[in-house]
Chain A
Amino acid sequence: MSGTDIAFFLLALAAIAGGVTMLQLTNVVHMVIALVMTFVGIAGLYVLLSAEFVAVVQVLIYSGAITIIMLFAIMLTRHHTDERERPTTGGVWHKAVAALSVIAFGLAVYFGIRQLDFGADGSALSGDNAKAIGKSLYSYYTIPFEIVSVILLVALIGAIVLAKKDGKGAEDE
């Protein structure tokens, strides 16, 4: 077993443990913090896959920005004290049906992917990752890149319009 395999198993364990912990916890803030472990583990997996730039972006956007915005949303909204009693929708049957469906879906996909191998040894990508991504973004992917900037602008304006107090609501309060 090589060092890469050990690193893969440790990072995969961290990612899955974060997800399972998130499902088990009851406090909402703790759940988001547990998800940070998953996001950091996934960033480590990107480094193993020789995608250093994507790993840095993952840490910046997911572990940084999205976690903070989720924590802000939790702090800005009130949380009932009876959260502990009923953190999930429906009863036992609802959960059992959901779990069985998810497990069936997982098994169906797993039988499709377990033998998948394209014979690539993974040596094609090495070094100068950010340079190659930059060249690709500004030549081959110029139009999608510009469209993403429009999407971000629309999301910014849409978020402001949605979260802004409308005049009628402000008068009511």
Chain B
Amino acid sequence: MTLSAYLALALILFCIGLYGALTKRNTVIVLICIELMLNAANINFVAFAKYGAHPSVHGHVFALFAIAVAAAEAAVGLAALIAFYRSRKTVQVDEANSLKH
């Protein structure tokens, strides 16, 4: 399997995630679409680690760092979602349009 096949797959997954993040109305789904985009980036890291100009394990380490930061981002994002839900009683993105409550 060549490098460009993996890159094309990651691109398709990134586009699915981007479209979902731009159009979905539920904040949880927007967050999980962002996770999908980060996953596509991780596929690129690992694919370059095997088929890149300098194959080494550094790509794997970078993917692990990205997964750790994505987990932290999901936790903080969902905590913010819970706080928002408590003040506005909704989780729809298009109703989160004011800074004061």
Q: How many residues of B contact A (CB 8 A)?
A: 72
Pairwise interchain contact B15-A133, C-beta atoms closer than 8 A: no
Question: Which residues on A sit within 8 Å (CB–CB) of B46?
Answer: 46, 49, 51, 54
- What's the dominant secondary structure at chain A's contact region? helix
Q: Which of B33-72 contact A (CB under 8 A)?
A: 35-36, 39, 42-43, 46-47, 49-53, 55-58, 60-61, 63-65, 67-72
A50 touches B50 (CB 8 A): yes
B76's partner among A38, A45, A159 (CB-CB below 8 A) is A159
- Does A102 lie at the interface of the complex (its beta carbon under 8 Å from any beta carbon of B)? yes
A152 in contact with B68 given A16-B9, A90-B23, A117-B3 (CB within 8 Å): yes
Please give, as numbers and ranges, the residues of chain B lying within 8 Å of A78 by CB-CB distance: 85, 89, 91
Q: How far is the CB of A134 from chain B (nearest CB, A)?
A: 10
Asked if A163 and B49 sit within 8 Å, CB to CB, the answer is no
Q: Shortest distance in angstroms between B85's beta carbon and chain A's nearest beta carbon?
A: 5
Q: What is the bound-complex CA distance between A87 and B64, given in angstroms? A: 33
Nearest-CB residue, chain A, relative to B94: A89
Chief secondary structure at chain B's binding surface: helix
Instruction: Point out the residue from B39, B60, B80 that lies within 8 Å of A42, measured CB to CB.
Output: B39
Q: How far is the CA of A5 from the CA of B67 in the complex (A)?
A: 27
A35 touches B32 (CB 8 A): yes
24 A-B residue pairings within 8 Å (CB atoms): A19-B12, A22-B20, A28-B29, A35-B36, A42-B13, A42-B42, A51-B49, A53-B64, A54-B64, A54-B67, A58-B42, A61-B67, A77-B82, A87-B24, A89-B93, A90-B23, A102-B22, A106-B11, A113-B4, A113-B8, A125-B57, A144-B65, A158-B76, A163-B79
B positions within 8 Å CB-CB of A: 1-9, 11-20, 22-26, 28-29, 31-32, 35-36, 39, 42-43, 46-47, 49-53, 55-58, 60-61, 63-65, 67-76, 78-83, 85-87, 89, 91, 93-94
